């Protein structure tokens, strides 16, 4: 029965031989044969990228390089295997001193249980190439899965392993829903720094909460209002644009480019809600007076930009930083980057707001 179903799915959905490899008792499927979600552009240089090839010659090298990090991308599939494994190779084998490798370059598996996405387990990276069992001893019921890709590294290759007698195929259920995704533009925090695993980055959490695909255009240290990024963002048939880039831009850059960035989006998407988010209040600013003054100034400048925009644009919205990450000063690893604690707080806070905007 399992073999029959597997053959059926193979012929129905993949029409392709040579996409599996059997090793020991497991069968490996190249993930390029399964549905990839969270991708904003079809014309990319390799399969797992976040910006279109057309931007390579136009944008700054740092943005281009970061667009190869897989934040926001996930593989959707279903299987009746009692075990799920993965083999993957990352491009950079990135290491950071405030970020767990599991979040930087690991994988993170969720399963759809009673209509809700539930954490199954993460795959911890060994280095450039990893082979890992993610979960074992499951009941063998056919189930829908979502495997989040690395937040801060690129993928050369990914294969998903199942029992040799189990079936695997593309999902039957459209969740998170593909129609009109929410697009996030921002910084390292938007890209997911420093979640312990990919599923905890706030755009990924919001995707599950809203049951809506997201497009993650967070570029670590480089959410600097590059106008060519606005041009391609505007090509996405989005339900909402979330602008969360303030930590990466100076007040001068805000005054020079923020309104222009919005104008580019507005030219193609006149009616889509745009949510402008203040910079979070870094907990160390309550000791560092220079940081305190700078963040206050940025948020005042943003408020002014918003007030100006709002005069002629009724689809412009504003999110104050005040309660975004709680008020106990504990939500970051280094005063700046959010931990899973900070990410769950910001997700819970943004959820009702964005839900209303995309309804």
Stretch that binds a second copy, among 6-14, 106-114, 156-164, 182-190 (CB under 8 A): 106-114
Under rule CB under 8 A, residue 114 binds a second copy: no
Nearer to a second copy, 33 or 347 (CB): 347
The nearest distance, CB 331 to a second copy, in angstroms, is 8
Among the listed residues 56, 256, 330, 356, the single contact to a second copy using CB under 8 A: 330
DSSP 220: T
Under rule CB under 8 A, residue 284 binds a second copy: yes
Interface positions, 120-159, toward a second copy (CB under 8 A): 120-122, 124-126, 135-139
Under rule CB under 8 A, residue 283 binds a second copy: yes
The nearest distance, CB 102 to a second copy, in angstroms, is 4
- b/e map 185-215, b = 16+ CB within 10 Å: bbbbbbbbbbbbbbbbbbbbbbbbbbebbbb
Stretch that binds a second copy, among 50-58, 103-111, 154-162, 271-279 (CB under 8 A): 103-111
CA 230 to CA 246: how far, in whole Å? 15
Under rule CB under 8 A, residue 340 binds a second copy: yes
The nearest distance, CB 201 to a second copy, in angstroms, is 12
Under rule CB under 8 A, residue 23 binds a second copy: no
CA 107 to CA 112: how far, in whole Å? 17
Binding mask 172-211 for a second copy (x = CB under 8 A): ----------------------x-xx-xx-----------
How many residues of this chain bind a second copy (CB under 8 A)?
A: 47
Under rule CB under 8 A, residue 119 binds a second copy: yes
Under rule CB under 8 A, residue 94 binds a second copy: no
Strands 240-244 and 177-186: what pairing?
parallel
Residue 290, C-beta contacts closer than 8 angstroms, at least 6 positions apart:
none
CA 275 to CA 244: how far, in whole Å? 8
Under rule CB under 8 A, residue 315 binds a second copy: no
The nearest distance, CB 31 to a second copy, in angstroms, is 20
Q: Residue 114 burial (CB < 10 Å; 0-12/13-18/19+)?
A: exposed
Helix axes 340-358, 202-210, angle to 10 degrees: 40
Among the listed residues 318, 335, 353, 358, the single contact to a second copy using CB under 8 A: 335
The residue written with tokens 């870094």 in the block is 282
Where do runs of H (alpha helix) occur along 12-139? Answer: 61-66, 101-105
Under rule CB under 8 A, residue 289 binds a second copy: yes
Among the listed residues 111, 169, 186, 203, the single contact to a second copy using CB under 8 A: 111
Rounded to whole angstroms, what are the CA distances from 161 to 37, 83, 99, 154? 19, 8, 27, 20
- b/e map 68-91, b = 16+ CB within 10 Å: bbbbbbbbbbbbbbbbbbbbbbbb
Under rule CB under 8 A, residue 98 binds a second copy: yes
Helix axes 289-310, 259-268, angle to 10 degrees: 40
The residue written with tokens 């801060």 in the block is 152
Contacts with a second copy, residue ranges (CB under 8 A): 96-103, 106, 111, 113, 118-122, 124-126, 135-139, 194, 196-197, 199-200, 283-284, 286-291, 329-330, 332-335, 339-341, 344
């Amino acid at each position: 029965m399992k073999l029959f179903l597997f053959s059926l799915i193979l012929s129905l959905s993949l029409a392709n031989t040579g996409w599996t490899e059997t090793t020991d008792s497991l069968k490996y499927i190249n993930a390029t044969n399964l549905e990839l979600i969270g991708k904003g552009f079809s014309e990319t240089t390799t399969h797992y990228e976040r910006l279109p090839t057309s931007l390579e010659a136009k944008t700054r090298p740092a943005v281009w390089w970061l667009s190869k990090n897989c934040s926001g991308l996930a593989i959707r599939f279903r299987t009746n295997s009692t075990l799920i494994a993965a083999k993957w190779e990352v491009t950079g084998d990135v290491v950071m001193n405030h970020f767990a490798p599991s979040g930087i370059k690991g994988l993170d598996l969720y399963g759809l249980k009673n209509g809700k996405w539930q954490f199954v387990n993460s795959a911890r990276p060994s280095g450039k190439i990893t082979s890992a069992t993610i979960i074992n001893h499951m009941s063998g019921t056919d189930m829908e899965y979502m495997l989040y890709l690395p937040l801060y590294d690129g993928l050369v290759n990914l294969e998903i392993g199942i029992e040799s007698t189990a079936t695997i195929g593309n999902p039957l259920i459209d969740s998170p829903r593909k129609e009109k995704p929410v697009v996030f533009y921002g910084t390292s925090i938007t890209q997911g720094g420093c979640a312990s695993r990919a599923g905890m980055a706030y755009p990924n959490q919001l995707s599950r909460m809203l049951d809506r695909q997201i497009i993650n255009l967070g570029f670590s240290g480089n959410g600097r209002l590059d106008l060519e990024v606005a041009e391609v963002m505007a090509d996405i048939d989005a339900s909402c644009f979330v602008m969360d880039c303030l930590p990466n831009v100076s007040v001068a850059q805000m005054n020079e480019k923020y309104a222009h960035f919005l104008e580019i989006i507005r030219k193609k998407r006149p009616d889509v809600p745009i949510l402008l988010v203040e910079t979070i209040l870094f907990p160390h600013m309550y000791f560092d007076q220079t940081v305190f003054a700078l963040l206050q100034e940025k948020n005042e400048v943003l408020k002014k930009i918003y007030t100006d925009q709002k005069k002629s644009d009724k689809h412009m919205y504003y999110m104050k930083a005040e309660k975004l990450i709680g008020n106990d000063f504990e939500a970051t690893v280094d005063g700046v980057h959010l931990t899973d604690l900070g990410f769950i707080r910001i997700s819970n806070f943004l959820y009702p707001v964005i839900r209303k905007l995309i309804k």
